[in-house]
A and B are shown apart, each in its own frame.
Chain A
């Protein structure tokens, strides 16, 4: 069965510091992987996705993620965070043919 694990429920970081949000998945078949961001009292927005091709994926707001098949990971990174990046981030993996499984989320709190 496919599953997604987000290893950190909360990540505190100071403004302008780098950040990495970790995501591991389990799957016996090829996968599509996604990161979504949820700002307070809003729906989820797509941050980036990996479908195929280059393992380094760039998304909106300066975020990027690297697909590592051998480690079954899809960690999200940003070299310098801003106060406005404070939000909850969800990793998701596709389940063939037509569903996604979401991780439990990581709350990123950026401090001035």
Chain B
């Protein structure tokens, strides 16, 4: 199994508060991704990174920001959490970007 961890694994927060989720890898893969999973929508890409300090938006990036200051860590921040951001968030990594992505265990976020 690829070495990917996500923290926290579960989070309950209130509307309007900032939230940061962390993804950590030990594989030295260049690419890192953040997805959200919602019933009926499958996985949707929020943001991704193709190198340290190199990031780009996905299809559902509004209300989210990311940072990658070192290869192994990719942070996802909800600037002001809303109930619509209640979801399961997955991090993934990939060596080349176009080939296999390996997924972390997920973070369940509930925004009240």
Q: Do A and B bind each other?
A: yes
Give me the interface of A with B, judged by CB distance under 8 Å: 6, 9, 32, 34, 36, 42-46, 49, 51, 90, 94, 96-100, 102-105
CB–CB A97/B97 < 8 A: yes
Residue B50 at the chain A interface, CB threshold 8 Å? yes
CB–CB A49/B100 < 8 A: yes
| CB-defined contacts of A96 to chain B, threshold 8 Å | 98
CB–CB A99/B58 < 8 A: yes
CB–CB A34/B100 < 8 A: yes
CB–CB B99/A43 < 8 A: no
Measured CA separation A49–B105 after assembly (Å): 21
| CB-defined contacts of A51 to chain B, threshold 8 Å | 99
B37 to chain A, nearest CB (A): 9
CB–CB B100/A46 < 8 A: yes
Interface core residue of B41, B43, B48 (most chain A CB under 10 Å): B43
Specify the chain A residue showing the minimal Cβ separation from B45.
Answer: A99
Q: Interface range on chain B: under 10, 10 to 19, 20 to 34, or 35 or more?
A: 20 to 34
CB–CB B103/A44 < 8 A: yes
CB–CB B100/A98 < 8 A: no
- Given A98-B31, A99-B97, A43-B104 contact (CB < 8 Å): yes
CB–CB A98/B105 < 8 A: no
- Given A43-B104, A43-B105, A44-B90, A102-B98 contact (CB < 8 Å): no
A sample of 30 inter-chain contacts (CB < 8 A) reads: A32-B99, A36-B103, A42-B105, A42-B106, A43-B90, A43-B103, A43-B106, A44-B43, A44-B103, A45-B103, A49-B100, A51-B99, A90-B42, A94-B98, A97-B97, A98-B31, A98-B50, A98-B94, A98-B96, A98-B97, A99-B33, A99-B48, A99-B58, A99-B97, A100-B45, A102-B35, A102-B43, A102-B44, A104-B41, A105-B42
